[in-house]
Homo-oligomer: A and B are copies of this chain.
Protein backbone atom coordinates (compact mmCIF):
# COMPACT_ATOMS: atom_id res chain seq x y z
CA UNK A 1 0.00 0.00 0.00
CA UNK A 2 1.21 3.44 -0.99
CA UNK A 3 -0.28 6.81 -0.12
CA UNK A 4 0.30 10.08 -1.94
CA UNK A 5 -0.50 13.74 -1.50
CA UNK A 6 -1.12 16.01 -4.49
CA UNK A 7 -1.98 19.51 -3.37
CA UNK A 8 -1.48 23.19 -4.07
CA UNK A 9 -0.34 25.67 -1.44
CA UNK A 10 0.47 29.33 -1.30
CA UNK A 11 4.16 30.14 -0.99
CA UNK A 12 3.57 30.51 2.75
CA UNK A 13 2.09 27.03 2.99
CA UNK A 14 -1.67 27.51 3.12
CA UNK A 15 -4.12 25.30 1.26
CA UNK A 16 -7.12 27.56 1.90
CA UNK A 17 -8.00 30.82 3.55
CA UNK A 18 -9.25 30.69 7.15
CA UNK A 19 -12.82 30.54 5.83
CA UNK A 20 -11.96 27.78 3.36
CA UNK A 21 -11.88 30.01 0.29
CA UNK A 22 -9.78 28.89 -2.66
CA UNK A 23 -10.19 32.10 -4.68
CA UNK A 24 -6.39 32.58 -4.78
CA UNK A 25 -5.91 29.39 -6.80
CA UNK A 26 -5.47 29.90 -10.53
CA UNK A 27 -8.79 28.91 -12.05
CA UNK A 28 -10.39 28.25 -15.37
CA UNK A 29 -8.44 27.14 -18.39
CA UNK A 30 -5.01 27.00 -16.87
CA UNK A 31 -2.31 24.71 -18.09
CA UNK A 32 -2.17 21.05 -17.11
CA UNK A 33 -0.32 20.69 -13.80
CA UNK A 34 -0.15 16.93 -13.85
CA UNK A 35 -3.37 16.22 -12.00
CA UNK A 36 -4.76 13.83 -14.62
CA UNK A 37 -1.46 11.95 -14.80
CA UNK A 38 -1.34 11.77 -11.02
CA UNK A 39 -4.88 10.40 -10.85
CA UNK A 40 -3.88 7.47 -13.05
CA UNK A 41 -1.44 6.41 -10.30
CA UNK A 42 -4.02 6.10 -7.51
CA UNK A 43 -7.04 3.87 -6.99
CA UNK A 44 -8.75 5.34 -3.92
CA UNK A 45 -9.21 8.87 -2.60
CA UNK A 46 -9.21 9.52 1.15
CA UNK A 47 -10.34 12.90 2.43
CA UNK A 48 -11.61 14.51 5.59
CA UNK A 49 -15.07 15.92 5.96
CA UNK A 50 -13.88 19.50 5.51
CA UNK A 51 -12.45 18.77 2.10
CA UNK A 52 -15.48 16.65 1.23
CA UNK A 53 -17.91 19.43 2.07
CA UNK A 54 -15.79 21.83 0.01
CA UNK A 55 -15.77 19.44 -2.95
CA UNK A 56 -19.57 19.22 -2.78
CA UNK A 57 -19.79 22.98 -3.34
CA UNK A 58 -18.00 22.61 -6.68
CA UNK A 59 -21.17 21.16 -8.22
CA UNK A 60 -20.64 18.16 -10.47
CA UNK A 61 -18.97 15.25 -8.71
CA UNK A 62 -15.35 15.46 -9.74
CA UNK A 63 -14.08 11.94 -9.12
CA UNK A 64 -16.03 9.83 -11.60
CA UNK A 65 -15.88 6.14 -10.76
CA UNK A 66 -12.94 6.46 -8.38
CA UNK A 67 -13.74 5.18 -4.88
CA UNK A 68 -13.76 8.06 -2.40
CA UNK A 69 -13.56 7.48 1.35
CA UNK A 70 -14.67 10.33 3.59
CA UNK A 71 -13.21 10.22 7.07
CA UNK A 72 -15.47 11.46 9.81
CA UNK A 73 -15.99 10.82 13.49
CA UNK A 74 -19.61 12.00 13.16
CA UNK A 75 -21.02 10.13 10.18
CA UNK A 76 -24.59 10.95 11.19
CA UNK A 77 -23.97 14.63 10.38
CA UNK A 78 -22.34 14.08 6.99
CA UNK A 79 -24.14 15.50 3.94
CA UNK A 80 -25.80 12.88 1.73
CA UNK A 81 -23.33 10.86 -0.29
CA UNK A 82 -23.50 11.93 -3.94
CA UNK A 83 -22.53 8.65 -5.57
CA UNK A 84 -22.32 4.95 -4.73
CA UNK A 85 -18.52 5.22 -5.05
CA UNK A 86 -18.44 7.41 -1.93
CA UNK A 87 -18.28 5.77 1.47
CA UNK A 88 -17.71 6.96 5.01
CA UNK A 89 -15.16 5.65 7.44
CA UNK A 90 -14.00 6.42 10.96
CA UNK A 91 -10.80 5.46 12.69
CA UNK A 92 -7.14 6.17 13.01
CA UNK A 93 -5.03 6.48 9.86
CA UNK A 94 -3.63 2.98 10.50
CA UNK A 95 -7.13 1.54 10.85
CA UNK A 96 -8.24 3.29 7.67
CA UNK A 97 -5.23 2.01 5.72
CA UNK A 98 -5.78 -1.53 7.00
CA UNK A 99 -9.46 -1.43 6.05
CA UNK A 100 -8.74 -0.08 2.58
CA UNK A 101 -6.00 -2.64 2.02
CA UNK A 102 -8.52 -5.34 2.91
CA UNK A 103 -10.81 -3.87 0.22
CA UNK A 104 -8.04 -4.23 -2.33
CA UNK A 105 -6.79 -0.62 -2.45
CA UNK A 106 -3.14 -0.30 -3.47
CA UNK A 107 -2.53 3.42 -3.96
CA UNK A 108 -4.28 6.11 -1.94
CA UNK A 109 -4.67 9.78 -2.74
CA UNK A 110 -4.84 11.46 0.68
CA UNK A 111 -6.39 14.90 0.41
CA UNK A 112 -7.17 17.79 2.74
CA UNK A 113 -5.07 19.52 5.34
CA UNK A 114 -6.14 17.79 8.54
CA UNK A 115 -6.15 14.35 6.93
CA UNK A 116 -2.74 14.86 5.33
CA UNK A 117 -1.35 15.95 8.70
CA UNK A 118 -2.78 12.91 10.49
CA UNK A 119 -1.45 10.48 7.89
CA UNK A 120 1.96 12.15 7.83
CA UNK A 121 2.22 12.04 11.61
CA UNK A 122 1.31 8.33 11.47
CA UNK A 123 4.07 7.66 8.94
CA UNK A 124 1.58 6.60 6.29
CA UNK A 125 2.46 8.97 3.43
CA UNK A 126 5.10 7.89 0.89
CA UNK A 127 4.86 10.58 -1.77
CA UNK A 128 4.22 14.33 -1.71
CA UNK A 129 3.54 16.39 -4.83
CA UNK A 130 3.26 20.02 -3.81
CA UNK A 131 2.44 22.81 -6.21
CA UNK A 132 3.33 26.30 -5.00
CA UNK A 133 1.13 29.16 -6.10
CA UNK A 134 3.05 32.46 -6.29
CA UNK A 135 1.22 34.37 -3.60
CA UNK A 136 1.58 34.99 0.13
CA UNK A 137 -1.75 34.77 1.94
CA UNK A 138 -0.41 35.64 5.38
CA UNK A 139 -2.95 33.41 7.10
CA UNK A 140 -5.17 30.44 6.37
CA UNK A 141 -5.33 26.70 6.78
CA UNK A 142 -1.82 25.25 6.69
CA UNK A 143 -0.89 22.13 4.77
CA UNK A 144 1.58 20.96 7.37
CA UNK A 145 1.25 20.73 11.12
CA UNK A 146 2.99 19.33 14.15
CA UNK A 147 4.52 15.91 13.66
CA UNK A 148 6.67 15.38 16.73
CA UNK A 149 9.75 14.32 14.78
CA UNK A 150 11.61 15.16 11.58
CA UNK A 151 10.41 13.58 8.36
CA UNK A 152 13.35 13.37 5.94
CA UNK A 153 12.39 13.56 2.29
CA UNK A 154 14.03 12.72 -1.01
CA UNK A 155 13.50 15.23 -3.79
CA UNK A 156 12.35 13.44 -6.94
CA UNK A 157 11.66 16.19 -9.45
CA UNK A 158 10.58 19.80 -9.77
CA UNK A 159 9.13 21.79 -12.60
CA UNK A 160 8.00 25.35 -13.08
CA UNK A 161 4.96 26.28 -15.18
CA UNK A 162 4.42 29.40 -17.29
CA UNK A 163 1.73 30.44 -14.83
CA UNK A 164 4.37 30.72 -12.12
CA UNK A 165 3.37 27.55 -10.31
CA UNK A 166 6.29 25.44 -9.10
CA UNK A 167 5.66 21.77 -8.49
CA UNK A 168 7.99 19.54 -6.49
CA UNK A 169 7.68 15.83 -5.87
CA UNK A 170 9.20 14.19 -2.79
CA UNK A 171 9.39 10.68 -1.42
CA UNK A 172 9.28 10.17 2.31
CA UNK A 173 12.53 8.49 3.38
CA UNK A 174 11.44 5.41 5.26
Residue positions of A touching B, CB distance < 8 A: 11-13, 24, 120, 128, 130, 132, 134-139, 143-155, 157-158, 160, 164-166, 168, 170
A160 and B157: CB pair below 8 A? yes
**Docked pose: A138 CA to B24 CA in angstroms:** 25
**Docked pose: A57 CA to B88 CA in angstroms:** 53
How many copies altogether? 2
**Docked pose: A133 CA to B150 CA in angstroms:** 12
A155 and B166: CB pair below 8 A? yes
**Docked pose: A35 CA to B102 CA in angstroms:** 51
Contact A160 B155, CB 8 Å, known A11-B170, A13-B13, A120-B136: yes
Q: Which residues of B contact A151 (CB under 8 A)?
A: 135-136, 138
**Docked pose: A139 CA to B168 CA in angstroms:** 21
